[in-house]
A and B are shown apart, each in its own frame.
With several copies, the nearest count.
Chain A
């Protein structure tokens, strides 16, 4: 299941939905939740805006999920990514993989978030004291960004 959405999501609900569908076929569910980090602690600044490429985004996420499902023989998986304005500590992204074996679930979950970060057409713009700026991929692993 993939979703690109402005509204927040509930990781617990996603994990429970995954589990209910497994019917005892999976032993391991691994999830990644990405949160907005707060560069400017105590400061009102630090909002992010997520732009994306509607249509291509969904295609890219579906492709990443399909590759993981096939490569690690997953039983189920989820990718959710938010767009629009976000504040520090907000959830940005959720990725989960359900498998019979925990190693497969870890590898698949990590593959999905790693690949999303390099292939899915999202862009982060950050409000700072000096005005707004677009992040570069190098910034994107630094404070202010998810994971």
Chain B
């Protein structure tokens, strides 16, 4: 199982803030997870296609090639606007 989290406008678009999911064996990277989530159809397909979306694996911003492993917390969010 991995813990997925969604923030800000993405959370609102998807209508979900977090979920625990069992990853298929074929999903071993952030990019793979993204494609798998996009297969859910609308609104996932378009919302996750945004190249500006950031991904944090275990609370560290990561790139699409980063590995995802059982027990990870993977968060998706738009560019940050704090300060």
Contact = CB atoms under 8 A, between A and B. Distances in A.
Contact of A81 (B5, B60, B78, B82): B82
Given A53-B5, A53-B7, A122 B82 contact: yes
A146 B75 contact: no
A19 interface: no
A34 B12 CA distance: 27
B59 A117 contact: no
B9 A117 contact: no
A66 B56 CA distance: 20
B81 interface: yes
Q: Bin the interface of chain A by size.
A: 20 to 34
A134 B75 CA distance: 18
Contacts, number: 76
Given A121-B56, A123-B8, A53 B82 contact: no
Give chain A's interface secondary structure class. Answer: mixed
B83 A123 contact: no
Interface string A9-53: 000000000000000000000000010000000000000001111
B44 interface: no
B1 interface: no
B61 interface: yes
B82 A116 contact: yes
Given A121-B7, A125-B8, A147-B83, A134 B59 contact: no
A120 interface: yes
A1 interface: no
B15 interface: no
Given A117-B82, A117-B83, A122-B81, A55 B9 contact: no
Interface of A: 34, 50-53, 55-56, 59, 81, 92-93, 113, 116-125, 134-137, 139-140, 145-147
Given A121-B56, A146-B83, 20 more contacts: A53-B5, A56-B75, A59-B59, A81-B82, A92-B83, A93-B83, A113-B83, A117-B81, A119-B80, A120-B82, A121-B7, A121-B80, A121-B82, A123-B7, A123-B8, A123-B9, A123-B81, A124-B81, A135-B81, A140-B83
